[in-house]
Amino acid sequence: MKALHRVPLLALLALTSCGIPATGVVEAGGPASGILPLTPVYFVENGRLVSVPRHTGRPGDPTEALRLLMAGPLAGEGRIDGLSTEVPALPTAMAVPTAASEVPGSPPPDTAGPAGDSASGEPTVTVEGDTLTIRLPPGMDVLSDLGVRQTVCTAAAAYRLTHPSATPLTAEVTGGGGWRVRTTDERCPDR
């Protein structure tokens, strides 16, 4: 019987003498929070869409993501033959600031508010429920199917950074010439 009483005592001694000092809680900074300052932008590589992470000051902002898309692929992006785009660059002749909110360096208009003024030469995205309304600036001709998908996938992916959902997003894309396309983000890669 004496041997059985010694087993728990020996086990306790073995655990307390393993050389690890007793400490309290060690603070190593706060918990991870926020969103990385990256947004996915969709370009074309070998005839299909690929997502490229771009640095942004406004992650989750679909309008900012479209500005990055319209800036085109950067040198060195892409794996094999490089990247291309079916979405034209922002028309520079239309980008003359007309209001304080459009002055370079000032924050872009709120994307959650009323429809923006695409006459400013900038794309605008408004969201109502599960519907994105994407207005491209004047001077943007009708986009190809791949160009529409680039636009929708880029705006939807940015929006989903801050509003994750398994529900497909409906997107209505309108161009400066009055053309209109209605689709969803279901055909987007990485969806």
Environment class of 174 (CB within 10 Å of its CB; exposed 0-12, middle 13-18, buried 19+): middle
Whether the CB-CB separation of 54 and 41 falls below 8 Å is answered with yes
What is the number of structural domains in the chain?
A: 1
Whether the CB-CB separation of 174 and 136 falls below 8 Å is answered with yes
How does residue 78 score in pLDDT terms, banded at 50, 70 and 90? low
- Arithmetic mean of pLDDT, 137-151: 91
- Residue 130 has phi, psi (to 5 degrees) of -105, 30
Judge whether 8 lies within some domain.
no
Domain that includes residue 168, residue range: 38-100+111-184
- Arithmetic mean of pLDDT, 54-65: 94
Structure tokens at 61: 């902002």
Judge whether 12 lies within some domain.
no
pLDDT, greater one: 167 or 119: 167
Judge whether 135 lies within some domain.
yes
Judge whether 24 lies within some domain.
no
If you search the block for the tokens 């706060």, which residue do you land on?
Answer: 30
Judge whether 105 lies within some domain.
no
Judge whether 132 lies within some domain.
yes
Judge whether 61 lies within some domain.
yes
Quote the pLDDT of residue 14: 52
Judge whether 31 lies within some domain.
no
Strand pairing partners for 172? 133, 182
